[in-house]
Amino acid sequence: MIRFHEEQRFRKATIALLLGVIAFVVFVTVAAQTISRPDELIIVTITPLVVVLVALLYSRAHLDVDVNGEGVTIAFRYLWPARHISFADIVAVEMRRYRPLLDYGGWGVRFGLAGWAYTTGGNVGVKLRLRRGTPVLIGTGRPRELEAAIRAGMERSADMGRQAT
């Protein structure tokens, strides 16, 4: 039984910027060199294919956040392995604004001074403080719903733990 599900994608402007930067670097590199050896020709030929594959990967990638009876699952499809955090491992949850570049170094799966972040854009998320390990921030377009679902799961998990003892 899923209490919360959200699927987020990178913004098209982010993908376009990524492609633009990569294309610019490739263009400058190719323009700065004269192709005098066959191995350079292979690199110049393969590089645009790699750029297209990276762009395709980013355009298909999405962040899935699920809250169910077991805990929180964060999966960055096509880019990063899924991460499951059980309610028993969460000691605090808070909705908060964050600075993607300053706090985490950008968007995507990031590890910064403030801990782990899973984001596709924006500057609002839900931060989980864990019993062990560094905090985890989940970027979301529905922060109040995500926070409420996690709190409800934590309460239910705590109630079940008290009943078991």
In which element (H, E) is residue 161 found? helix 143-164
Q: Name which CATH class applies to 63-164.
A: mainly beta
What's the average model confidence in pLDDT over 53-57? Answer: 75
Question: Which phi and psi angles does 104 have, rounded to 5°?
Answer: -130, -5
Confidence class for position 64, pLDDT limits 50, 70, 90: very high
Residue 82 has pLDDT above 80, yes or no: yes
Burial group, residue 13, by CB count within 10 angstroms (0-12, 13-18, 19+): exposed
Give the model's pLDDT for residue 110. Answer: 92
Say what the pLDDT of residue 91 is: 96
Residue burial 134-145, b: 16+ Cβ < 10 Å; e: rest: eebbbbbeebeb
17-49 pLDDT tens trace: 667 777 777 666 666 665 556 666 666 667 777
Q: Return the pLDDT at 49.
A: 73
pTM confidence score: 0.75
Q: Which residues contact 111 (CB under 8 A, 6 or more apart)?
A: 104, 117, 134
Which of 76, 37, 69, 44 is CA-nearest to residue 155?
69
Nearest to 69 by CA among 83, 82, 88, 52: 88
The arithmetic mean of pLDDT across residues 52-72, rounded, is: 85
Contacts 24+ apart (CB under 8 A), 47-55: 51/19, 51/22, 51/23, 51/26, 54/18, 54/22, 55/15, 55/18, 55/19, 55/22
Top-confidence residue, 104 or 158: 104
Q: Give the CA distances from residue 145 to residues 6, 12, 126, in Å, rounded to whole numbers and listed in that order.
A: 10, 25, 10
Segments making up each domain of the chain, as ranges: 9-60, 63-164
